[in-house]
Structure 1
Amino acid sequence: MMKEIVLFFAVLVAIVIGQANQPLNVVPYPQQVEMGSCNIPVTSILITSNIESTTFSVSMERYTNLFFPFNNVSNSEENDSSSITLEVTIYSDDETLQFGIDESYNLVIQEESYQIKTATIYGAMRALETFKQLITYNQLDNSYSIQCVSISDYPRYPWRGFMVDTARHFIPKNMILHMIDSLGFSKFNVLHWHIVDAVSFPVESTTYPNLTKGAFSPSAVFSHSDIEEVVAYAKTYGIRVIPEFDIPGHAAAWGIGYPELVATCPDYAANVNNIPLDISNPNTFTFLQNFFSEISPLFFDNYFHTGGDELVTGCWTEDPTILNWMTKMGFSTTDAFQYFENNLDNIMKSINRTKITWNDPIDYGVQLNPETLVQVWSSGSDLQGILNSGYKALVSFAWYLDKQVPDGKIHYEWQDTWQDFYAADPTVNITSNSNNILGGEATMWAEQINQVNWDVRVWPRAIGIAERLWSSQSINTVSLALPRIGQFTCDLSRRGIQSGPLFPDYCPMQDDLVFTMKPNIKLSNSEIKLILNK
């Protein structure tokens, strides 16, 4: 009881202080805020845009449906003085979505003028999310209003990713679309799709159809059309989808349909994660070339993740064929790993993709192509060395959502690990070359995760990561963030995301709210084609 009383007063104090220091209940917190003095009642909102765009039309429809969560409030009175028009001005109709796209926006709300101005549709999407969060609901008189404000906003980092693992547990397509909803609401802009690993190969291939013998079940497979729908749907949130096919380690699932691809090492085979590709076989590289040439066009992003982590080179040296090849070539295991990565670079070049790897090859002594983007899962000290070597890097080691103790700190309540994620700045203890950090990614490895518990394990803990990657470095006080994140997690739950509370409060919801693992908008086949081809 005493703990609850202390927590209640701590939250109350944080709310009072926060209203002075961070007056908007917006997550992630904007870069520049100038408060107005008016509070405008609103019953209906019409969004207009100066450009024609199927992609942005989906976003406008989405937020129009989200603005008023309580359907007992009228929002359709055409001549009501509290009906407003939100005018969106986008200065370019180019819908190209690649790394570094401009996501900045200006949002001005004042009496009789509601304006969003932005360079791209993706900045407009971020502005719509901010606008949505500015709408407040008053339970006492059953009304909505919006605060007058001027906001100039942009992300701190251009790469704000989330890794989803669909290999250790198959996650149905509709659940992935639902995940994209939650990531888009929090202004993440990359879905890192860890799609294949040692335990399963859930991706259809027309070139090598036996690969899906490595799936958990014939029904646990992503078709090409499934992938296209995921990529198109993500684009309506300004989210890039980057696949990861983890090689040369963690390759056992490749070998179920094509056993000639993988090494043979009985002493290591008890752990399926120990089985790597057989890189002594030239046909392995032909296979990878053909397969990646088939798969890469489904993902329009310039980046392609090839894993590279946790390679067990002892399996190579136990396989007589591979060991004889290494001896003939005069290769150590590091040389063999280098040989693989060099060949993989040639494949990536042929499909016009930039390679991403985990930091393991560098730890093993491999010299990667200087253009390689390195995702660091191990430690800040490894990150510093990688930055000093001239590589561009992504930070992940501080944001493993599958961990109970992500940063060595133990909390009485597990959800409070959000504070550790929030406090983990990418540049902490980095003394040089921090400009080589492109951003970071949260990771949710799926050994104990599937569509049943994904939401409640990720949210609201990941909200802290979203703000750390978007907001100014100076926005870093847990006590000030807590009331804002508390309100946002309530808002997410009203949108159908099972994001729970962080402190005692009341989150009003519709009585008939049902959590469904489905996207909030269903794209038609024609919309998918238009979005992907724009």
Structure 2
Amino acid sequence: MPDTPASPPTSLPVIPRPARTEPGGQGGLILTAATRVSADAEARGTLTWLQRELGAATGLPLATGDEASAQVRLSVDAQAGLGREGYRLIVDAEGAIVVGNDPAGVFYGAQTLRQLLPPDAYRDAPLGGAVWTLPAVSITDAPRFRWRGAMLDIARHFSPKREILRFIDLLAMHKLNVLHLHLTDDQGWRIEIRRYPRLTEVGSWRTESQVGASKPPVFDGRPHGGFLTQDDIREIVAYADARHVAVVPEIDVPGHSQAAIHAYPELGESGLIPVGTQWGVFDEVLAVTDEVLEFYKNVFDELLELFPSTYIHVGGDECPKTQWRTSASAQKRIKDEGLADEDELQSWFIRQLDEHLTARGRRLLGWDEILEGGLAPGATVMSWRGEEGGIAAARAGHDVVMSPTATSYLDYKQSESDDEPVKVGTLLRVEDVYTAETVPPGLTEEEAGHVLGAQVNVWVEHIDTPRRLDYMVFPRLSAFAEKVWSAGERDYSEFEPRLKRHLERLDAAGVEYRPLDGPRPWHTRPGVGGWGE
């Protein structure tokens, strides 16, 4: 992004807020059946997307024309000084031009162009009778951070492919560019691994699920399961790539591995165990033998075939050391490797995977527990237990993605009302997400440069349907998107009117978000208790 100050708050109801907006005079461009669109070679992917999405909503043909005759023109110009993922959008009565620094920039410019139209531009079929007018305007824009992500947990409650594709569309709508897929946990293994078929044959389903967080636990008595085939993954990755969203896979080790141990008991310290049915942190962990490491290296090798992402997430969080303290093989490993204790044993385990991934041109990403016992040289830290892990990693010269629970966990309660469904964690309102600063205070400029960006996390223990997912994610995701895209001061009183207009787009897109004034009666879950303060 060029070094220009952000413009004053715009009256345009665009989210995230563009860096610079200037009025373009009277009138604007009216899209009609005669409107033609064009793109250069690098922008053709966005042209295809725009024709499909706007064509469906407006009923207009938006036929492809040559550059001279087209009213809407898309192009890439790396010499335009727009910065990584930056774009310029100019609309007047004669036409609309989107110029991107790169193909991603063109795509984000087209997303902004769509927001300039009436909210019905987000429907899948035309309602009839609309006049599709783009206001005259000049917008120059680029993101503040390169990592603008959301984690979707599909291990606790499985999301089928169609819902993941829809989620990707909603990320792209908000100019987010990372989908972190949490693929494995105690309660299920959700990705096909050809070499180890039992991971999905028996590890992808459980006999029942805990309902809420009451103690003693209450269960629903209903089997739950599902997994993505490797062809499903290829489709998801290709679909995301066309929308400039990188898909980062997570295989959680060495804790949160009950489903894998159920499928292959030799992986664990306690023999055959069931796939988890209860939420929480449990003592069952992976053994640290050569055979277990070889197993997971093989698993990650299959992942590398499917996911082109530079980053591969290995979890590393919430790994109790109880079993290792009494395990002969774990204690032998500590002695043989000259390790200080079980914390350093976990670090050793992660380092083996780091070396494996680095040798294949990838980078290991893990939750901030991977700092304990010493950080693997090439690792990137995802800071979730507050900001401390991110600060420590950045000061040590490691890249960081900020994701602290208090401002990033979208399963956390949205008000103190008893009507909120399954209230967990601490209060996290839309305005709390919006006003939280991504870069921790106290970092030097060089240290702050290691903050790649941020992401929100959607843990789904208590989110078991797409409707509940919508309720918990939106509109907080919209606030987060502006936080990680837009530079400059953030004033929630300025943001809220734009958000209210944005909710009309979500309505048109069929997103069942939480209303700003609180839940509707059908959003509640009477009698299902949560946890937290």
Same fold, judged at TM 0.5 (above): yes
Q: What CA deviation, in whole Å up to 9, does each residue of 1:336-366 have, x standing for no partner? A: 112212211222123321000110121x232
Counterpart check, 1:423 vs 2:430: no
* Equivalent position to 2:111, from 112, 123, 129: 129
Give distance in 2, aligned partners of 1:200 and 1:137: 39
Distance 1:46 1:378, change over 3 A: farther
Equivalent residue number for residue 343 of structure 2? 334
Q: What CA deviation, in whole Å up to 9, does each residue of 1:461-510 have, x standing for no partner? A: 11000000000132x10011011111112112212322354369xxxxxx
1:40 Cα deviation from its structure 2 partner? 2.2
Consecutive unaligned residues of structure 1, counting only runs of 5 or more, are 1-18, 93-100, 505-534
SS at match of 1:214: coil
Distance 1:266 1:500, change over 3 A: closer
Query: Could you tell which deviates more after superposition, 377-386 or 216-225?
Result: 216-225
* Equivalent position to 1:464, from 479, 493, 503: 479
* Equivalent position to 1:403, from 402, 408, 412: 412
Q: Which runs of 4+ in 1 moved over 6 A?
A: 74-78, 269-272, 411-416
1:54 Cα deviation from its structure 2 partner? 6.6
1:57 Cα deviation from its structure 2 partner? 4.5
Would the aligned equivalents of 2:37 and 2:62 in 1 still touch at CA under 8 Å? Answer: no
* Equivalent position to 2:381, from 362, 374, 380: 374
Give distance in 2, aligned partners of 1:412 and 1:194: 30
* Equivalent position to 2:179, from 191, 210, 227: 191
Query: Could you tell which deviates more after superposition, 482-491 or 83-92?
Result: 83-92
How many residues are aligned here? 463
Distance 1:396 1:298, change over 3 A: same
Distance 1:159 1:265, change over 3 A: same
Would the aligned equivalents of 2:203 and 2:262 in 1 still touch at CA under 8 Å? Answer: yes
2:84 maps to amino acid = D
* Equivalent position to 2:505, from 491, 496, 510: 491
SS at match of 1:170: coil
SS at match of 1:59: helix
Give distance in 2, aligned partners of 1:142 and 1:285: 60
Q: What CA deviation, in whole Å up to 9, does each residue of 1:75-105 have, x standing for no partner? A: 8899xxxx9721011247xxxxxxxx93111
SS at match of 2:189: coil
Equivalent residue number for residue 225 of structure 1? 231
* Equivalent position to 2:397, from 384, 390, 393: 390
Would the aligned equivalents of 2:119 and 2:508 in 1 still touch at CA under 8 Å? Answer: no
* Equivalent position to 1:306, from 306, 311, 314: 314
Counterpart check, 1:443 vs 2:457: yes
2:255 maps to amino acid = G
Give distance in 2, aligned partners of 1:158 and 1:329: 38
Distance 1:340 1:52, change over 3 A: closer
Would the aligned equivalents of 1:201 and 1:215 in 2 still touch at CA under 8 Å? Answer: yes
SS at match of 2:455: strand
Q: Which has the higher contact order (CA 8 A, sep 6+)?
A: 1
1:460 maps to amino acid = P
* Equivalent position to 1:254, from 252, 256, 260: 260
Distance 1:457 1:29, change over 3 A: same
Distance 1:35 1:412, change over 3 A: farther
Equivalence map 1:197-236=2 (5 Å)? 197-212=185-200, 213-216=202-205, 220-236=226-242
Counterpart check, 1:344 vs 2:333: no
1:172 Cα deviation from its structure 2 partner? 0.5
1:308 Cα deviation from its structure 2 partner? 0.5
Equivalence map 1:145-156=2 (5 Å)? 145-156=133-144
* Equivalent position to 1:239, from 233, 245, 253: 245
Q: CA RMSD in A?
A: 3.2
Give distance in 2, aligned partners of 1:219 and 1:197: 12
Equivalent residue number for residue 502 of structure 1? 516
Give distance in 2, aligned partners of 1:303 and 1:77: 39
* Equivalent position to 1:176, from 159, 164, 176: 164
2:235 maps to amino acid = E
SS at match of 1:191: strand
Q: What CA deviation, in whole Å up to 9, does each residue of 1:147-191 have, x standing for no partner? A: 111111100000000000010011101010011111110111000
1:460 Cα deviation from its structure 2 partner? 1.1
Counterpart check, 1:162 vs 2:150: yes
1:459 Cα deviation from its structure 2 partner? 1.0
Equivalent residue number for residue 293 of structure 2? 285
Would the aligned equivalents of 1:109 and 1:150 in 2 still touch at CA under 8 Å? Answer: yes
1:223 Cα deviation from its structure 2 partner? 0.4
1:250 Cα deviation from its structure 2 partner? 0.8
Would the aligned equivalents of 1:66 and 1:132 in 2 still touch at CA under 8 Å? Answer: no
Give distance in 2, aligned partners of 1:463 and 1:160: 12
Would the aligned equivalents of 2:380 and 2:400 in 1 still touch at CA under 8 Å? Answer: yes
Give distance in 1, aligned partners of 2:417 and 2:311: 37
Counterpart check, 1:33 vs 2:5: no
1:295 Cα deviation from its structure 2 partner? 1.9
Query: Could you tell which deviates more after superposition, 26-35 or 128-137?
Result: 128-137
Give distance in 1, aligned partners of 2:162 and 2:44: 21
Give distance in 2, aligned partners of 1:28 and 1:412: 31
Give distance in 1, aligned partners of 2:487 and 2:412: 26
Identity of aligned residues (%): 27
Give distance in 1, aligned partners of 2:369 and 2:162: 33
Would the aligned equivalents of 1:459 and 1:499 in 2 still touch at CA under 8 Å? Answer: yes
1:23 Cα deviation from its structure 2 partner? 1.8
Equivalent residue number for residue 491 of structure 2? 477
Would the aligned equivalents of 2:85 and 2:143 in 1 still touch at CA under 8 Å? Answer: yes
* Equivalent position to 2:362, from 353, 366, 374: 353
Give distance in 2, aligned partners of 1:116 and 1:41: 14
Would the aligned equivalents of 1:200 and 1:216 in 2 still touch at CA under 8 Å? Answer: yes
1:226 Cα deviation from its structure 2 partner? 0.2
1:142 Cα deviation from its structure 2 partner? 4.8
Would the aligned equivalents of 1:41 and 1:145 in 2 still touch at CA under 8 Å? Answer: yes
Equivalent residue number for residue 12 of structure 2? 24
Q: What CA deviation, in whole Å up to 9, does each residue of 1:18-55 have, x standing for no partner? A: x9832211000111111122232624254310217774
Give distance in 1, aligned partners of 2:21 and 2:114: 16
SS at match of 1:21: coil
